[in-house]
């Protein structure tokens, strides 16, 4: 039972097997104090003794009036047992949906019934971030933090802001690159009352500054370098399995930005396998935007691998030096993943190794076409999310994903997060199209649903409807 969870079964551990230093969950670190690598939350499963079958979690539905059982994150508390029940912070996150999407599946190239979309846009702040934020807030509450900060391309900040506004547990401070955030997301942070600091720079600059400032002022950092956040994001995979009757799909396809999700998903499956709750691993596909393709460059082109944690990861540093020398900045319409220095790179490499992963990059055109197809299929998502569908399509065309494979694409953020990109794609105004999309190499809007302009007259309106059929 969740109520019996003791925090001493959980600890923080450096992900490098060469270091493996451990720290208590009552400490706050965003990297290993001994070697600088990332930290994981690890568990003594023998002592915490999680359920031996998934069915246990289904019984939580009968206790939905209890907020902890209702939460799509915390109903899996036994699989992230770092906090006592009384510390849990939930605002009802994780009520998300896995649906079969045959029209999008047709576009991707798989047979009917094989493509599933996991719609994380249904979270309270409209993106998957709330899964992680409820876990980060829970830890922050355990250690008594009063202020929290993040750098963001817009969704982490919206999530931080809403958790601050609802729970009143902390003051929220967000760092964003100037002009680098869609209005939908910026409006959330402003509306929810977070202190919003626009930095003359991009996300990578904001990330570097927030780490410095949080360290200097002792502010709790809720970016995905915070290992507690990723514990919450593991539950996206638990819900996917739940919706599939606890069967493991063949593929999980996810957009890659700061690489928190891909890292969390890999960890989720590694733990489920260790616990004997699943008997095989799904394959993982991480999809970069071509204009922010560090992972693709390093993994697919330069062959960088985790190597059981013993590989030389120096090529990543050399690549970052190269980016600096060439003054190359991340640049994509998928602003959520406009990131060149993904903080979770090492963890993501580990996840790719565990899940026999592949990495691809997709163009702006591919992202927007995929996004239009997702919209036409009835869910809708922001550009970054559509990278998963565009990537799946590419992998089917290559024959890497089979037409009969069961594929789950993660739709990370809601359609209304970035209406500008949507309207520019569907517009009849060529000047608007050119300004927003043409300038990014998008030459056509093959799946546009164009508005029809008519006079303020019944006959013209009737004619337009007749033509529609
Ligand atoms: N999709 C959306 C909608 C996002 O907001 C993000 C990240 C990603 C995908 C990438 O996920 O970082 O786990 O690889 N957004 C962060 C933010 C960076 O600040 O909101 P990741």
Residue 7 lies in a domain: no
For each of the chain's 469 residues, which pLDDT tens digit applies? 343 455 689 999 999 999 999 999 999 999 999 999 999 999 999 999 999 999 999 999 889 999 999 999 999 999 999 999 999 999 999 999 999 999 999 999 999 999 999 999 999 999 999 999 999 999 999 999 999 999 999 999 999 999 999 999 999 999 999 888 999 999 999 999 999 999 999 999 999 999 999 999 999 999 999 999 999 999 999 999 999 999 999 999 999 999 999 999 999 999 999 999 999 999 999 999 999 999 999 999 999 999 999 988 899 999 999 999 999 999 999 999 999 999 999 999 999 999 999 999 999 999 999 999 999 999 999 999 999 999 999 999 999 999 999 999 999 999 999 999 999 999 999 999 999 999 999 999 999 999 999 999 999 999 999 998 8
Residue 5 CB–ligand 1 contact under 6 Å = no
DSSP 8-state secondary structure symbol assigned to residue 282: P
Q: How many domains does the chain have?
A: 1
Residues listed for the chain? 469
Residue 204 contacts residue 294 (beta carbons within 8 Å):
no
Run of H or E including 254:
strand 251-255
Q: Which two tokens stand for residue 199?
A: 């930095």
Residue 453 lies in a domain: no
Residue 280 lies in a domain: yes
**If you measure from the C-alpha of residue 326 to the centroid of ligand 1, how many angstroms do you get, rounded to a whole number?**
25
Residue 141 lies in a domain: no
Residue 198 contacts residue 178 (beta carbons within 8 Å):
yes
Residue 16 CB–ligand 1 contact under 6 Å = no
pLDDT at 5: 54
Which of 419, 461, 348, 416 has its CA nearest to residue 121?
Answer: 416
Kindly report the protein residue whose alpha carbon is nearest to atom 15 of ligand 1.
Answer: 336
| Phi, psi (degrees; rounded to nearest 5) at 311 | -75, 160
Choose one of 131, 151, 153 to mutate for the ligand 1 pocket test, by most ligand atoms within 8 angstroms of C-beta. Answer: 153
Nearest-atom number in ligand 1 for the CA of 233 is: 13
Q: If 0-12 CB within 10 Å is exposed, 13-18 middle and 19+ buried, where does residue 86 land? A: exposed
**If you measure from the C-alpha of residue 69 to the centroid of ligand 1, how many angstroms do you get, rounded to a whole number?**
26
Residue 450 contacts residue 428 (beta carbons within 8 Å):
yes
Domain harbouring 358, CATH code:
3.40.50.1100
Residue-by-residue DSSP string for 283-297: EEEEEEEGGG-HHII
Q: Distance between CA 441 and CA 234 in Å, rounded?
A: 36
**If you measure from the C-alpha of residue 127 to the centroid of ligand 1, how many angstroms do you get, rounded to a whole number?**
9
A 10 A CB-CB count for 429 gives 13
pLDDT at 178: 87
**If you measure from the C-alpha of residue 302 to the centroid of ligand 1, how many angstroms do you get, rounded to a whole number?**
24
Residue 395 lies in a domain: yes
Residue 127 CB–ligand 1 contact under 6 Å = yes
pLDDT at 8: 84
pLDDT at 7: 61
Residue 291 lies in a domain: yes
Q: Distance between CA 306 and CA 41 in Å, rounded?
A: 19
pLDDT at 3: 39
Residue 62 lies in a domain: no
In terms of residue numbers, what domain contains 395?
A: 97-123+229-421
Residue 324 lies in a domain: yes
pLDDT at 6: 56
**If you measure from the C-alpha of residue 342 to the centroid of ligand 1, how many angstroms do you get, rounded to a whole number?**
10
Q: Which two tokens stand for residue 163?
A: 């958790």
| Phi, psi (degrees; rounded to nearest 5) at 118 | -95, 110
Nearest-atom number in ligand 1 for the CA of 152 is: 19
| Phi, psi (degrees; rounded to nearest 5) at 408 | -120, 115
Residue 121 CB–ligand 1 contact under 6 Å = no
Residue 256 CB–ligand 1 contact under 6 Å = yes
**If you measure from the C-alpha of residue 129 to the centroid of ligand 1, how many angstroms do you get, rounded to a whole number?**
8
Determine how β-strand 358-362 pairs with β-strand 171-177. Answer: unpaired
């Amino acid at each position: 039972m969740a109520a019996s969870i003791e925090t001493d079964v959980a600890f923080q551990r450096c992900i490098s097997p060469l270091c493996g230093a451990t720290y208590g969950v009552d400490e706050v670190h965003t990297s290993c104090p001994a070697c600088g690598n990332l930290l994981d939350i690890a568990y003594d499963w023998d002592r915490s003794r999680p359920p031996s079958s998934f069915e246990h979690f289904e019984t939580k539905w009968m206790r939905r009036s209890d907020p902890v059982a209702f939460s799509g994150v915390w109903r899996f508390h036994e699989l992230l047992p770092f906090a006592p029940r009384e510390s849990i912070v939930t605002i009802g996150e994780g009520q998300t949906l896995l649906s079969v999407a045959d029209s999008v599946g047709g576009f991707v190239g798989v047979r009917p019934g094989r493509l599933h979309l996991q719609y994380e846009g249904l979270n309270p702040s409209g993106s998957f971030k709330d899964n992680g934020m409820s876990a980060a807030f829970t830890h922050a509450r355990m250690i008594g933090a009063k202020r929290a900060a993040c750098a963001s391309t817009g969704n982490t900040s919206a999530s931080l802001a809403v958790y601050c506004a609802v729970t009143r547990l902390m003051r929220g401070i967000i760092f964003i690159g100037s002009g680098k955030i869609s209005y939908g997301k910026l409006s959330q942070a402003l509306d929810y009352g977070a202190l919003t600091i626009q930095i003359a720079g991009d996300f990578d600059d904001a990330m570097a500054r927030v780490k410095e400032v949080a360290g200097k002022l002792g502010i709790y950092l809720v970016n995905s370098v915070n290992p507690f956040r990723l514990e919450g994001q593991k539950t996206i995979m638990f819900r996917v399995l739940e919706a599939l009757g606890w069967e493991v799909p063949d593929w999980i396809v996810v957009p890659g930005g700061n690489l928190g999700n891909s890292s969390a998903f890999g960890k989720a499956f590694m733990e489920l396998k260790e616990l004997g709750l699943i008997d095989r691993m799904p394959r993982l596909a991480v999809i970069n935007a071509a204009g922010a393709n560090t992972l693709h460059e390093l993994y697919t082109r330069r062959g960088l691998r985790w190597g059981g944690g013993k590989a030389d990861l120096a090529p990543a540093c050399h690549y970052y030096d190269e980016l600096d020398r060439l003054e190359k900045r991340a640049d994509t319409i998928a602003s959520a993943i406009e990131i060149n220095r993904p903080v979770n790179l090492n963890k993501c490499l580990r996840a790719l190794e565990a899940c026999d992963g592949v990495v691809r990059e997709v163009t702006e055109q591919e992202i927007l076409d995929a996004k239009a197809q997702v919209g036409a299929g009835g869910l809708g998502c922001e550009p970054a999310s559509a990278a998963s569908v565009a990537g799946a399509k590419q992998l089917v065309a290559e024959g890497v994903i089979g037409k009969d494979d069961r594929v789950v694409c993660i739709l990370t953020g809601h359609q209304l997060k970035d209406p500008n990109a949507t309207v520019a794609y569907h517009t009849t105004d060529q000047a608007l199209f050119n300004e927003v999309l043409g300038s990014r190499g998008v030459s056509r809007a093959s799946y546009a649903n164009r508005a029809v302009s008519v006079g303020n007259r019944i006959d013209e309106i009737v004619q337009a409807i007749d033509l529609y059929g």
